[in-house]
């Protein structure tokens, strides 16, 4: 699974958020250690072609298996976007 390009993430952030613009880069190699699963939206849409796929669907959904908070240790970088 490949992470969408940072420019796409910035575009999504600029489009959907109006007050605070932040992107958090995370260390995907730590997902197993913290019981985090990732699911690609595009893989789901390929199974259900009647759903409309858009470039914004090239994203990853993260699920914390134990229902706890995501650990701060997976954060590699915080990028603030000037409005």
**pLDDT tens figures, 46-78:** 676 666 556 566 778 899 988 889 999 999 999
Q: Identify whether 30 is part of a domain.
A: yes
Instruction: Assess if residue 15 is contained within a domain.
Output: yes
Q: Taking the chain, what is the end-to-end CA distance rounded to the nearest angstrom?
A: 31
User: Does residue 1 sit within a domain?
Assistant: no
- In the chain, the number of structural domains is 1
> Of residues 62 and 5, which shows the higher confidence score?
62
Instruction: Say how many CA atoms lie within 13 Å of 59 toward its Cβ.
Output: 14
Q: What is the residue-averaged pLDDT of the chain? A: 78
Is 32 contained in some domain? Answer: yes
Q: Which residues contact 83 (CB under 8 A, 6 or more apart)?
A: 21
In a domain, 47, yes or no: yes
Neighbours of 51 (CB within 10 A): 12
Q: What percent of the chain has pLDDT over 90?
A: 31
Domain that holds residue 69: 6-80
């Amino acid at each position: 699974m490949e992470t969408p390009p940072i420019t796409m993430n910035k575009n999504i952030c600029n489009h959907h958020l109006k007050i605070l613009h932040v992107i958090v880069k995370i260390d995907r190699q730590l997902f197993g250690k913290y019981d985090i699963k990732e699911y690609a939206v595009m893989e789901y849409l390929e199974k259900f072609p009647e759903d409309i796929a858009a470039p914004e669907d090239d994203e990853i959904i993260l699920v914390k298996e134990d229902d706890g908070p995501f650990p701060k240790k997976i954060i590699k970088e915080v990028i603030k976007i000037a409005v």
